[in-house]
Amino acid sequence: MTYLEVMRDYRVILMIFQYGMCFGSQLVMHNVLHTHFHDYFHVEPTTAGFLAFGYGGMNLWARSSGGILSDWMSVRWGMQGRLWAHFISLFVGAIFLFLFGYMDKDIGWHGALPVLMLFSQFCNMAEGTTYGIVPFMIPKHMAVVSAVVGAGGTLGALLLTMGFYRTSHDDELTPFRWHGIAFMVSALSVIPIRWDYGSMWSRTTSSGPQEVPKLEADAAKLVVSESKENTAENKENTTENKPVESAENKGNTGENKENTDNVETV
């Protein structure tokens, strides 16, 4: 029932779509880039691997930079800041992916690689900004929301591959252009997302100044409370086990003493 409740929220559906586009694109690019550089630009397989790493290597810092940007903007503008960080990451990523679809043989891989790396930067940032928002979507079901959004990333990779890269095209760059358009649609789908505590166009509604920092504080309190409960439970278990261990040890000590007395008597 929890999953059904979560999936009835349109914002969760949109977030699944958006994460499916950014993380799904990352998985797709890992699959197609080596072949693309080798077959289209006619570089050696080893060189094609290094060029493809130009995309994958950005993940070393790009995803975390998206999370940092989301937190930084949240401190200043609350949830509105997080949504704008997410929108900008997706929107700019879509532009660079679409441009990559026009990096033809005349431009060469020397021009295609920088565009690809810029797309990777913003694509990975969008993954970080996604999970800057997820914990505050439905706080009481945070684990379930996190799970279904994460699963959307893998589903997105499957759908993108089947939709754009499994069909033949006269121009080998066409799949990247269509992919870029789909990526742009995911960026635009951020616009209708809103809560009482903020949207892209307002920080709060007339219902009152419910800022995201309050939700962050509530989430932190929940974690601390659960931690204390676990500590108390462990302490209780330890207390219950001590008398048993003590009784067992006393019994063993008594038996050992009796055996010693018997040996001495003999």
Domain edges within the chain: 2-207, 211-266
User: Average pLDDT, whole number, for the chain?
Assistant: 84
What are the C-alpha distances in Å from 166 to residues 40, 106, 157? 16, 25, 12
In whole angstroms, what is the distance from residue 225 CA to residue 89 CA? 35
Fold of the CATH domain 2-207: Growth Hormone; Chain: A; (1.20.1250)
User: Is the model more confident about 257 or about 76?
Assistant: 76
User: Is the model more confident about 259 or about 112?
Assistant: 112
For the ranges 97-106, 135-144, 211-220, the lowest mean pLDDT is seen at 211-220
pLDDT, one tens digit per residue, over 27-41 is 999 999 999 999 999
Would you state the pLDDT for residue 218?
Answer: 55
For the ranges 153-157, 202-206, 217-221, the lowest mean pLDDT is seen at 217-221
Mean pLDDT of 44-61: 92
* Portion of the chain with pLDDT greater than 90, in percent: 68
